[in-house]
Amino acid sequence: MSYSDHWVDISLEQINSDPDALFDRRSTLSVYPQAQTRKSFCQRIMAKKMALSCGGILVVVGISFATFLASTTGSPTLGMDMKIGSKGKQAEETCTTEACVVAAADIIKSLDETADPCEDFFQFSCGGWVASNVIPDSKSKWGKFYELREAVDQAVRTIVETPIEAEDAQAVKNMKNLYNGCLNVDAIEAQGYNKFVDMVYGDEFGGWPMIQTSWDGSVFSTEKVAGDNLRTWLSSTLISVYAYLDSFDTSRNVLYIDQTSLALPRDFYIDQDTYADYISAYKNYIVDIARVMTREIGSGVSDTALIQAADNIVAFETKLAIGVVPDSERRNATEMYNPMTYTELKNKYPIFWNDYFGRVFTDTDVVLEESETLITFIGAA
C-alpha cells in the first residue's frame, strides 16, 4: 500500500490556526487506509482535481506551501536549524525571513477559503489568484509560470541592454551583439530582404513552394529541411530534438526526441469555431509574408493561389495538432521516459535520421554512434 493511499486526520482550520499541530502529531496520529473511512472519498476527489485542474498554479502553491511549512518547522532537508527537546520532539521556530513572508502572502492571496476543497479543489486552491489576475491583452493565456517568464525576460533585457564589458562571457557578448543588431534599424533597412529571400528561395532544396509558380520537388528532403530549420532557426519541424540532463542520471546529458511544436496553441486547431478569429489572423499573416516574398522575387503568384496555400498549411498543421498529445496527458514523467539506442530508434521509426542529424550537427564534431542512447519523450512506446 503506497503512501498516497493513506490520510492523516487533521483539519485545515487546525493548520491555519496552529501549523505546528501537523508536525506535533505526525508520530502519534493513526494513519488509515482510504478504504476504511468515507473521508477517503473526499481525499481522492481532492487529489484528482489537484492533478487535473489546477496545473501550474497549483504546483506553485503546493511547493510554496510545503516550503513554508517545512521552513517553519526547521526541516533539516531545507537547511534550517532544528532543536530537539528532552523527548526527542522538535521545538519548531516560525520562519520570518523575507522569502517566507512573501511565500506565505502569495499562498494566502491565491486561495479561496470560501470554497469547499472537497467540492471544488481548484477553486479552493486557485480561486483567489484567478479572481485577482486577468489575461493581459497581448496574451492568449496567463498563469504563474507565464508571470515568472515575464520576470525572467525583463531581467534578461536588463542584461542585454547594458554595454559590452571585457569581463562578459563570450555567450553574453554574442547575445548583446545580436540584440543590438536587431535594434539597428538603419542597417536592417539597408540590407533589405536579400538575406531572407536567399534563405527561403535560393536554398538547395527548391525554396518555398508557396511563392513560386513552378516548384522543383525532386531536390526536396523533409529530413534535411527539418534539420536545417533546427540548426539555423531553432525551429522544431515535425519533431523536437534537444539536449538536456538525463532525468534518471543527471551526471550526463542526452538527446531527447519529442513531439513537434505548433505555430498556434493546440486548442486553436482542434476547436477552430471557437478560435476562428485567431485562425483567420494566422492565415492572413502567412499570406502577407508570402506576398512580400513573391514581390521580391518577381514570381507573380496570385493572391488566390496564396490564400489557397495558406488554407492548405493550416489544414496540414491541424492534422499534426490532432496527433500531438495534450499537456494534460504528459504529466507522468516516468511513462514519458523511453530510452533507446540510435539503432533502435531508426528501426522503430524508419525515416532518414542520418540526414536529419547530419544537418542538425553541421559544422560540429558531433557524430551519433549506433549505440548512443536517446530518450524518446513522446509517451509510452
For 134-174, the pLDDT digits (tens) are 888 888 888 888 989 999 999 999 999 999 999 999 999 99
Spatial distance between the Cα atoms of 82 and 135, rounded to a whole number of angstroms: 43
In what order do the strands lie in the sheet containing 373-376?
A: 239-246, 249-259, 373-376, 338-341
* Dist CA 238 CA 226 (whole Å): 7
The reply to whether 168 falls in a domain is no
78: in domain: yes
Cell, residue 285:
499573416
For cell 563570450, the residue is 170
Alpha-carbon span 377 to 230, nearest angstrom: 18
Choose the final residue of a domain: 114, 132, 150.
Answer: 132
Q: Which residues contact 46 (CB under 8 A, 6 or more apart)?
A: 117, 118, 121
Angle between helix 121-132 and 98-110 (nearest 10): 110
Closest CA to 230 of 242, 219, 244: 242
The secondary structure element, H or E, covering residue 375 is: strand 373-376
Rounded to whole angstroms, the Cα distance separating 89 from 152 reads 41
Length of the chain: 381
- Between CA 269 and CA 314 the distance in angstroms is 8
pLDDT at 202: 79
Is position 14 within any domain? yes
The owner of cell 514581390 is 295
Say yes or no: 118 and 259 in one domain: no
Task: Report residues of the chain scoring pLDDT below 50.
Answer: 1-16, 19-55, 57-61, 63-87, 380-381
Angle at the Cα of 348 (from 346 to 350), degrees rounded to 5? 50
Q: Is residue 165 part of a domain?
A: no
Nearest to 111 by CA among 95, 99, 91, 127: 127
Domain identity same for 213 and 291 = yes
Residues 81 and 221 reside in one and the same domain? no
| Residues 71 and 100 sit within 8 Å (Cβ to Cβ) | yes
Domain assignment of residue 105, given as a range: 3-132
Name which of 129, 117, 75 is nearest 100 in CA terms. Answer: 75
193 and 120 inside one domain: no
The pLDDT value recorded for residue 144 is 84
Domain presence at residue 333: yes
CATH no. for residue 306?
A: 1.10.1380.10
Q: What residues are paired with 338 via a beta bridge? A: 376
The verdict on residue 381 lying in a domain is no
User: CA end-to-end span of the chain, whole Å?
Assistant: 27
**Residue whose C-alpha is closest to residue 80's, from 90, 91, 89, 70:** 70
Together in a domain, 324 and 196: yes
pLDDT at 194: 86
Of the residues 95, 110, 132, the one at which a domain ends: 132
pTM: 0.59
pLDDT recorded at residue 377: 85
Same domain, 74 and 207: no
Domain count, the chain: 2
Nearest one of 318, 296, 279 to 207, comparing CA atoms: 296
What pLDDT was estimated at residue 346?
97
- Please tell me whether residues 97 and 231 are part of one structural domain: no
DSSP string, 211-242: G-SS--GGG--HHHHHHHHHHHH----SEEEE
Same domain (yes/no): 190, 331:
yes
For residues 87 and 198, membership in a common domain is answered with no
Supply 346's cell numbers: 531508426
Domain boundary among 132, 163, 195: 132
Residues 361, 247 share a domain: yes
> Is residue 49 included in any domain, yes or no?
yes
Domain assignment of residue 128, yes or no:
yes
Q: Are 45 and 34 in contact (CB under 8 A)?
A: no
Give the pLDDT confidence score for residue 333 in this predicted structure.
87
Residue 162, all three cell numbers = 547594458
Same domain, 100 and 10: yes
Instruction: Kindly report the number of other CB atoms within 10 A of residue 358's CB atom.
Output: 16
Residues 270 and 346 in one domain: yes
What's the CA gap between 255 and 375, in Å, rounded?
Answer: 6
